[in-house]
Amino acid sequence: MIMFMNQYPIFGLLALLSLNCNSQKAKYTHNHDGTSHVHETTLETNNYFGEYTLNRETYGTKTVVKIKGNQRIMTTNALPDHETGDFPNQGNPNAISSQNKTYAFPLYPKYIGKAKWVREPGVALNGVKFEPGTAEVVICDTGENYRVEALQDVIDLGLDFNHAHVQPTGAYHYHGTPTSVIENFDSGEDLVHIGFAHDGFPMYYSKSGKYKSSYKAVSGSREGEDCTYENPTQRMQISVEGHHDGTFTSDFEYVEGYGDLDECNGITVDGHYMYLVTREFPYVSRCLMGEYKEERRPQYRSMNMDNRARRGRRYTPSFSELLEKMDKDNDKRISKNEAQGPLHDFFDRVDANKDGYLTEEEVKNALQHRNQRSARRG
């Protein structure tokens, strides 16, 4: 408890004041400082900055957190400690299965202040990961590609009431506000501690929604004709024309100062930096502001991409996807040193104004020229 209060004194005090205040009746087994004991609630021991063990026999949850040196080590089978929707379902063909995961979070996170994109920003206190983006892409014959958001009404991705679904590996994961996690770890305060980001900073949810995202819908209309989404069971014609309504990741843009939160949905409260999971885009942070070296993790390719590949059609990533992969300095451009693969090989040809950087317009023009050549070849 001393370590927790030194690192986050305000939250440590709140944890002490809120002990024994929970009225929920779920049974959890916790281990603090080597002493095991069973609680009828999740909130009687809500200091999740220290060591703890979370076992939920009903759901098979087994998560253990230990403090070792300067790291918080979480060992988990990644099974949620709450009810879920039915899986498989029509939009998600995968069944939940136990995982074997070990995560190491810095005990004393270091704020850098430079946003770094990550596929998996953090893990909930119960051991289930957050992964807000998707691999699903709508592809237009006119060259445009749109990354599909998980929380939208056009394509059914089988999300349950926790804004979560299951990957082909059986890993259950959250794309948005984890409803049941918020309920289970609610201490009665507005800010609910729900997880840790991989850079070590805590993740919270504000029940009042007082901290607003700084992302807004892009003005204007989308372009693209003869657009389709495919997976192994269906092929859908998708109309992308119209205003940016939140169906695709590119429908949003970050505007500094538009809301309370920074580009990574983070904010400093009482002198301590944290990430907020919000009901609005980006829902869960898509980047981290702290020092963190991302491990190489399995790439869950879109069923859309796989189907196109099997049919011999070329998948072309959107400019936003290229930025996510290559834009190391986050300046929304791609330099020759950052460019990879064919984009590096043909960099000078694509760089129309010869300034040493590729912009969205230059990449889009190059793709249009390529498509026109392909069409002429039949």
Has residue 38 been placed in a domain?
Answer: yes
Per the structure, the complete domain to which residue 333 belongs is given by: 317-378
Has residue 234 been placed in a domain?
Answer: no
Question: For residue 20, what pLDDT is reported?
Answer: 34
Same domain, 342 and 273: no
Same domain, 97 and 176: yes
Mean pLDDT across the stretch 42-60? Answer: 80
Kindly report each contact of residues 14-19 with a partner whose C-beta sits within 8 Å and lies 24 or more positions away, as own/partner: 14/187, 14/189, 15/46, 15/47, 15/49, 15/187, 18/43, 18/46, 18/187, 18/188, 18/189, 19/43, 19/44, 19/45, 19/46
Band of residue 351 on the pLDDT scale cut at 50, 70, 90: confident
Percentage of the chain modeled with pLDDT above 90: 62
Mean pLDDT across the stretch 316-327? Answer: 78
Same domain, 268 and 345: no
Name the pairing type of β-strands 61-68 and 52-56: antiparallel
Domain stops at, among 313, 344, 364? 313
In DSSP notation, 264-276 reads: TSEEEETTEEEEE
Same domain, 303 and 354: no
273 has which bridge partners? 268
Measured CA to CA in angstroms, residue 26 lies from 98, 121, 164, 174 at distances of 21, 28, 21, 21
Q: Yes or no: say if 162 and 126 are a contact pair by the CB < 8 Å rule.
A: no
Band of residue 309 on the pLDDT scale cut at 50, 70, 90: very low
Mean pLDDT across the stretch 5-29? Answer: 38
Question: For residue 345, what pLDDT is reported?
Answer: 66
Same domain, 261 and 362: no
61 has which bridge partners? 56
Lowest mean pLDDT among 125-134, 200-209, 361-370: 361-370
Mean pLDDT across the stretch 150-171? Answer: 96
Q: Could you tell me which of 61, 35, 34, 66 has the C-alpha nearest to residue 48?
A: 66
Has residue 239 been placed in a domain?
Answer: no
Question: For residue 69, what pLDDT is reported?
Answer: 95
Same domain, 335 and 262: no
Domain stops at, among 313, 336, 351? 313
Same domain, 129 and 96: yes
Domain stops at, among 260, 293, 313? 313
Angle at 367 between CA 361 and CA 368, to 5 degrees: 90
Mean pLDDT across the stretch 67-71? Answer: 96
Q: Per-residue pLDDT for 36 more than 80?
A: no
Provide the domain count of the chain: 2
Has residue 142 been placed in a domain?
Answer: no
Cis omega (within 30 of 0) for bond into 109: no
Has residue 143 been placed in a domain?
Answer: no
Band of residue 147 on the pLDDT scale cut at 50, 70, 90: very high
Same domain, 80 and 201: yes
Question: For residue 13, what pLDDT is reported?
Answer: 39
User: Which tens digit of pLDDT belongs to each residue from 214-247?
Assistant: 999 999 999 999 999 998 778 999 999 999 999 9
Same domain, 287 and 332: no
Question: For residue 18, what pLDDT is reported?
Answer: 35
Has residue 140 been placed in a domain?
Answer: no
Has residue 233 been placed in a domain?
Answer: no
Has residue 224 been placed in a domain?
Answer: no
Domain with residue 337: its CATH number is 1.10.238.10
Measured in degrees and rounded to the nearest 5, phi and psi for residue 277 equal -90, 125
Same domain, 280 and 322: no
Same domain, 10 and 75: yes
Question: For residue 28, what pLDDT is reported?
Answer: 38
With a CB cutoff of 8 Å and minimum separation 6, the contacts of 326 are 334, 338, 339, 340, 343
Question: For residue 371, what pLDDT is reported?
Answer: 56
Residue pointed to by tokens 């979480």: 74
- Judge residue 75's burial from the number of C-beta atoms within 10 Å of its C-beta, 0-12 exposed, 13-18 middle, 19 or more buried: middle
Mapping DSSP onto H, E and C, the string for the chain reads: CHHHHHHCHHHHHHHHHCCCCCCCCCCEEEEECCEEEEECCCCCCCCCCCCEEEEECCCCEEEEEEEECCEEEEEECCCCCCCCCCCCCCCCCCCCCCCCEEEEEECCCCEEEEEEECCCCEEECCCCEECCCCCCEEEECCCCEEEECCCCCCCCCCCCCCCEEECCCCCEEECCCCHHHHHHCCCCCCEEEEEEECCCCEEEEECCCCCCCCEEECCCEECCCCEEEEECCEEEEECCCEECCCCEHHHEEECCCCCCCCCCCEEEECCEEEEEECCCCCCCCCEEEECCCCCCCCCCCCHHHHHHHHCCCCCCCCHHHHHHHHCCCCCCCEECCCCCHHHHHCHHHHCCCCCCEECHHHHHHHHHHHHHHHHHHC
Same domain, 308 and 335: no
Q: For residues 293 and 276, what is the distance between their CA atoms, to the nearest angstrom?
A: 21
Band of residue 339 on the pLDDT scale cut at 50, 70, 90: confident
Q: Yes or no: say if 199 and 106 are a contact pair by the CB < 8 Å rule.
A: yes
